[in-house]
Amino acid sequence: MLNPRDLLLIALLGCGSAAVFGAAPLAAWVDASNANGTAVQQAADGWLLLMQRAGLDRPYDSVRREVRDAEAVHFGANN
């Protein structure tokens, strides 16, 4: 059975993973929001650059590419 401390740890790990591997969509969302041109955008862009330098944007790009390929096969990209 999970206790509250375990649940908190799971939530923090999930948030951390989302922040690391979701840096590109986070930066795109900030660019499209009212936070454009603010310190929030600078932080999101800085975070994205840091994740790109660390090579942690590759898993997101790989999954995104695979989803697009699967959609192309399913919906017939040549139609």
DSSP code at position 33: S
Task: Look at residue 78 in the predicted model and tell me its pLDDT.
Answer: 57
Residue in the structure block whose two tokens are 């499209």:
32
Instruction: Copy the structure tokens of residue 64.
Output: 């995104």
- Domain holding 67, by residue range, is 4-75
Cα 63 from Cα 20, distance rounded (Å): 14
pTM of the model: 0.63
- What's the number of domains the chain is made of? 1
pLDDT, tens digit only, all 79 positions of the chain = 889 999 999 999 999 888 888 888 888 888 888 767 788 888 888 998 998 899 888 888 888 899 899 999 888 765 5
Angle at 38 between CA 57 and CA 59, to 5 degrees: 5
What kind and span of H or E run contains 43? helix 39-53
Task: Look at residue 20 in the predicted model and tell me its pLDDT.
Answer: 83
Task: Look at residue 21 in the predicted model and tell me its pLDDT.
Answer: 82
